[in-house]
Amino acid sequence: MELSHGPGVYKYSHKSYSSQSDSWSSRVSLNSWAAPVVGAIFGLGRAGSIHLSNIIGNPRVILKYIVDDRSERFAELKDYWKLDNSVTFLTSKDSEKVYKDKSVNVVFIGSPTWTHEDIVVNSINNNKHVYCEKPIAENIEDTKKCYETAKAKGCTLFAAFNRRFDPAYSGLWQRVRNGDVGHVQILKVTARDSPLPSIPYLQTSGGVFHDCLVHDFDMACWVLGELPTRVQATAAALIPEVKEGIKQTPIFYSFPSRYRLAYKYELEHFLDVVMNGEPMKVTSWQTLAVSKIATAAEKSARTGQTVELDWTKDGIPAIYS
């Protein structure tokens, strides 16, 4: 990615990519909300299980519903997570029960990406604050619709870019701002989604740019405080399993353990936004910008062409246009 200020001329501004927050998030918070929030979680797969373990261990959240479509796992999950009858298991065809339950004020979404928009919009239309796994929706237009709904209803919509909350990454962000690393000329980011996700997951994930690399696009912009002016991407499928079939491997050694603290701190941040009116660190325009970069990268990889990015019509703070 080529950044707007060019190499070696990094400028820090208090209006930077990393510090702008969505203005409506504090408007809706119940300042110093003393009682725990009451929550529901949609989707208990790879991401949802991590969120569930943090939710269960957090005294600021009372979990009331678990919604997942693999009902055959409900008894085993209830036993494994030592849940009592105060937690109701539902399949998605009964999601209305969650939406219509006025005692529920926060919804956590860890279901597949193609289900996000529907759950986000229904939750917010019923006055619930939402913590949604990235990406918020399958495309930029639907993502905008979700944020517009949140703004209209005065609800928080948090996109779970967990790496922002990882101590190593936030330490780097701080060192760049302190000038400890000098002028940043190149940022190299390496990411792996290991072990290999299942083929059915990959088929509905939205592709590597939108599903996986959005984290890296967000990291690059966040650490550098700039948006790219052009994107050049190349891609290849080098792993035979991607074409051949499903590989089942425990995920314990992968992102759940690497980002254990990030997921925990991310939940605390969401609760601080909802309960204490703290400004949200992952803003709507940042999420939309990352989605635009992912779309450009995918286009570049498919066409072999460099894709220019024009930010002038995106409503992004002036410093980046």
92 binds ligand NAD (CB under 6 A): yes
160 binds ligand NAD (CB under 6 A): yes
295 binds ligand NAD (CB under 6 A): no
Closer to ligand NAD at the Cβ: 4 or 283? Answer: 283
Which sign does the torsion angle of CA 162, 45, 100, 206 carry? positive
Cα separation, 212 vs 254, whole angstroms:
14
User: Is 48 in a helix, a strand, or coil?
Assistant: helix
Instruction: Identify any residues that bridge with 21 across adjacent strands, giving them in sequence order.
Output: none
Cα separation, 126 vs 195, whole angstroms:
37
166 binds ligand NAD (CB under 6 A): no
4 binds ligand NAD (CB under 6 A): no
Q: Which two tokens stand for residue 307?
A: 């894709």
Cα separation, 237 vs 207, whole angstroms:
12
142 binds ligand NAD (CB under 6 A): no
Count of positions on this chain that bind ligand NAD (CB under 6 A): 24
Strand order in the sheet with 129-133: 88-90, 61-67, 37-42, 106-109, 129-133, 157-160
Query: Strand 2-3 relative to strand 228-231: parallel, antiparallel, unpaired?
Result: antiparallel
Binding region for ligand NAD (CB under 6 A) out of 20-28, 65-73, 233-241, 312-320: 65-73
Determine which residue in the list 39, 43, 225, 228 makes contact with ligand NAD, applying CB under 6 A. 43
68 binds ligand NAD (CB under 6 A): yes
Closer to ligand NAD at the Cβ: 39 or 48? Answer: 48
Report CA 178 to chain centroid distance, whole Å: 27
Cα separation, 211 vs 164, whole angstroms:
16
Give the residue among 92, 24, 36, 45 at the shortest CA–CA distance from 64.
36
39 binds ligand NAD (CB under 6 A): no
Binding region for ligand NAD (CB under 6 A) out of 26-34, 109-117, 173-181, 237-245: 109-117
165 binds ligand NAD (CB under 6 A): no
45 binds ligand NAD (CB under 6 A): yes
Closer to ligand NAD at the Cβ: 136 or 176? Answer: 136
Q: How far is the CB of 20 from ligand NAD (least distance, A)?
A: 21
Q: Which two tokens stand for residue 291?
A: 């989605």
> Where along the sequence are the contacts to ligand NAD (CB under 6 A)?
42-48, 67-70, 92, 110-113, 115, 133-134, 160, 162, 201, 211, 255
